[in-house]
Amino acid sequence: MTQGVVAERLDVAVLTVKRYESNEQQPPVEKLEKMALMYRTSLDYLRNLDKRNHIFIDDLPTAQQELIKAVV
């Protein structure tokens, strides 16, 4: 979906969509709800609260972190 299409469906300016995508601006809850329906996903996923598919490597030694990053 283009930013123009998303902007139209959310009833916002294209610049606002760009700001949402670059984390310069947080969308209000009602826009998040529309996005969740539009993208067929959960609000948790949109807000990065769904941690089931994330791997946390911050506590590993740097060498191990670099190895994992190289593989991924």
| Interatomic CA distance for residues 33 and 63, integer angstroms | 41
The confidence score (pLDDT) of residue 48 equals: 75
Q: What pTM did the predictor assign? A: 0.64
- Number of domain units in the chain: 1
CATH number of the domain that residue 21 is part of: 1.10.260.40
CB contact burial 23-62 (16+ within 10 A = b; e otherwise): eeeebeeebbebbbeeeeeeeeebeeeeeeeeeeeeeeee
Q: Report mean pLDDT in 10-residue bins for the chain, 72 residues.
A: 95 96 92 93 81 73 90 81
The confidence score (pLDDT) of residue 45 equals: 83
Cα 20–chain centre separation: 9
Residues spanned by the domain of 48: 3-71
